[in-house]
Structure 1
Amino acid sequence: MGPTPRRTNSGGNRLNAAADHRSKPRPPLRDHVATSIRRYLGDLNGSGTENLYEIALRELEIPLFIEVLSHCDGNQSRAAAMLGIHRATLRKKLREYGLEQ
């Protein structure tokens, strides 16, 4: 018995998981944020918060900075450019969040 034939697209290229992943429509980031905010508000269970805007910004910025810096191999200039902010602003935010390298 020979090897199992590989699926190909009309151009004859082998389909792989990465190609399949790229072809699927992905929900925009705002949908993920909305879901998280809804969950957070539900978890408050009737309690309020006075500074949700500040909390939300912090909770978004910290993982955003960490992931972009990782993607840029720790290069703050490249990360700042990718984020569309000045490097000094990125450095200030990293200090504020205790994320200095």
Structure 2
Amino acid sequence: MHVIARQKAVNGKDTRSLEDYLEWKMGDFVKGMKAGSGRNLHPMLISVIERPLIARSLEQTNGNQIQAAALLGLNRNTLRKKIKDLNIPVKRKRAAQRREA
């Protein structure tokens, strides 16, 4: 699935697509890795991206792991394993806290 090529941000400025942004940011990083050890780039990048992605998904679903799993397109048990493996804290908001926020 491709992200929309250009979007208007809330402030009215053009923004890069997520794909464009990641490609731009990774260019020098990949060159640096190639000059160094040049190994295990894929698993290293996946682990760096996966932790904040899961954390943000949990934040957006108020800690509801079933909803976060659906948002991410993961099985609930897979998400729970990743939460444990990546040491991601899960904070659930109670109904009263959600109404106040």
2:99 is matched with: none
1:93 is matched with: 82
- Structure whose residues are more often strand by fraction: 2
Give the number of the structure whose alpha-carbon radius of gyration is greater: 1
Matched, 1:65 2:54: yes
Aligned length: 83
Matched, 1:48 2:37: yes
Matched, 1:39 2:15: no
Q: Which runs of 4+ in 1 moved over 4 A?
A: 22-25, 42-45
Matched residue SS, 2:15: coil
RMSD across aligned positions (CA): 2.3
Distance, in Å, in 2 between the alignment partners of 1:71 and 1:98 is: 18
More deviation in 61-70 or 33-42? 33-42
The sequence identity of aligned pairs, in percent, is 28
Once the two structures are TM-superposed, the CA of residue 39 in structure 1 deviates from its matched residue by 3.2
Distance, in Å, in 2 between the alignment partners of 1:29 and 1:38 is: 14
Structure 2 residue runs without a partner (length 5+) = 1-7, 91-101
Distance, in Å, in 1 between the alignment partners of 2:75 and 2:65 is: 10
Matched residue SS, 2:21: helix
1:78-89 matched pairs, under 5 angstroms: 78-89=67-78
Higher relative contact order (CA 8 A, sep 6+): 2
